[in-house]
A and B are shown apart, each in its own frame.
Chain A
């Protein structure tokens, strides 16, 4: 059994409400996750589910209200300033908008080497050499180091951003919707690169996306988020093929399959409402949209309980004692 590399302990973050009378928005609530060495963990959810806030919390780009992140047994979020700066070498991030994730005033080479400079690593010559080596590794030319980000296409910029994420030789890379803005064929190129790099360097990934199809394709385990909470987590296959939370099921049934013999528009699953707003504090957040809701859903919040091998879901449908009470 591979060792646990990263552990997220009860992370929570709320934002003050906008406008009068609105309650604070609970962006991330009681999130507990682990990431094993060499593993890819997918984090899926629709807009507003808190997945991007979670990525910023994990990277310590945002202060959590409570909870922490532990890397290799060492508290990351609670570390001293100097220690945290060193620990940042182990976890890097790739963003959705590749072009704006690169400093427009620096050459591509400087952009890639910048994390080394910020960490005080290597001489200028060594950093430049490293940038050129990484450019070649991600499928661009070493000579591209002298050009500027705006001279490159979206897919190429994402390759550059990946090179920058690699420059500190991290153990973990967080991909925050890293392929969502790309065209189908370019997306496949980048996904292939991401997978090849993982094989070559034994990297561990947290892959955040709204696209369950992509996540299913490249992730070992999938966590599904709804309004700030993990509602289901487990190995990719059971989560996608035998989901145990009605929200996961609804997501899966709403995605069109690229095969007209398997799914036409009449067969797309429809659920009511949208995933915005503040849920009632003492109820299942998905209850207002859930087609299977029953008595306990509106009075208690379900917690994650085991529903299979390494598979957990937060739904009373899986809880025999609750169902008995209902009938």
Chain B
């Protein structure tokens, strides 16, 4: 602890200092950015996700084969086979190519609806939690109706009204997820709204809009981001499930979840056909989780310097 002597204008001599005063006194903004990099698992996760996303985006340029190119002579090729580094499936399609192209669908279906639902749910939940009363009742009862339907049934209903495809999947998953985010945002808002620092802002003349934007939103954002990143991996799998039911992208278009599903019938003969996309889903889900924790820590000054 650093003890400094100093005198206030009112004549009191005080010796006070908090923990770690000296090392924290340097430029604060620098630390905020650096703290993110300091969180090594988050940094590694971010780098990994960047590679995965780039690989999916540039799949046509880097893929050695087309995703649907079937080579009848090279069926069930094992990992390391010449020309098929990650092997082939039962139709002789290159697994690397399918993973690269499948990433385009899976990442789209995992990330886009979660981000959309997160944003919409955050807004609705904050409004409900902050304004309370009749607005709260109306918003939450409407969302409860969505909540009450079984997830897949609801997706089938939505997708049934539209044509199967990626857009349908995205819309269906978004609608399913909104109530989850809204509930979390509402609970967080209700725990922050009565805090004295919010009351102090009201006492200083802050309007409801300003208080929601400057006080509630930054404090609710962290939990929402963490929740969103935990859902992304799951949504990749849910998206595949919708495809499996014929509501999303249709075969032969590759997505990771569908690859796992297709490979399971030949699990004994060629386990890598199932295991490889499974591992990719696992790694991507974990990476999103680490990234979420890292973002939360980077947003919260209380964790800086720990």
Contact = CB atoms under 8 A, between A and B. Distances in A.
A and B touch in the complex (CB under 8 A): yes
B10 A93 contact: no
Q: Which of B12, B203, B219 has the most CB of A within 10 A?
A: B203
Contacts of B120: none
Interface of A: 56, 59-61, 84-86, 88-89, 91-93, 95-97, 100-105, 107, 111, 114-115, 118-119, 136-141, 143, 146-148, 150-153, 155-156, 161, 164, 168, 189, 192-193, 196-197, 200
Contact of B202 (A61, A101, A139, A197): A61
Given A104-B302, A141-B6, A192 B202 contact: no
B218 to A, nearest CB: 5
Contacts of B133: none
Nearest to A87: B205
A113 B51 CA distance: 43
29 contacts: A59-B203, A60-B203, A86-B205, A92-B203, A93-B199, A95-B196, A100-B195, A100-B196, A100-B197, A101-B199, A104-B219, A104-B302, A105-B219, A105-B300, A118-B201, A119-B204, A138-B8, A139-B6, A139-B10, A139-B16, A140-B8, A150-B301, A150-B302, A153-B16, A155-B16, A156-B16, A161-B200, A168-B204, A192-B12
A164 B200 contact: yes
A273 B218 CA distance: 45
B162 interface: no
B201 A151 contact: no
B199 A61 contact: yes
Contacts of B215: 103
Contact of B19 (A88, A92, A104, A151): A151
Given A89-B205, A96-B196, A104-B197, 11 more contacts: A95-B196, A101-B196, A101-B200, A107-B301, A118-B201, A139-B10, A140-B14, A148-B304, A168-B204, A192-B12, A197-B10
A95 B200 contact: yes
Contacts of B210: 118
Contacts of B302: 104, 148, 150
Interface in B256-306: 299-302, 304
Interface string B1-32: 00010101111101010111100110010000
Nearest to A165: B200
Nearest to B20: A151
Nearest to B204: A115
A101 B200 CA distance: 7
B212 to A, nearest CB: 13
Given A100-B197, A118-B210, A138-B8, A147 B25 contact: yes
Given A95-B199, A101-B196, A118-B204, A196 B10 contact: yes
Q: Give the 4 A-B CB pairs with smallest separation, nearest first.
A: A115-B204, A101-B196, A139-B8, A196-B10
A93 B203 contact: yes
Nearest to A150: B302
Q: Which of B4, B20, B199, B218 has the most CB of A within 10 A?
A: B199
A95 B202 CA distance: 13
Nearest to B218: A105
A153 B202 CA distance: 25
B206 interface: yes
Interface in B147-163: none
Contacts of B20: 151
Given A100-B195, A118-B204, A151 B24 contact: yes
Nearest to B202: A61
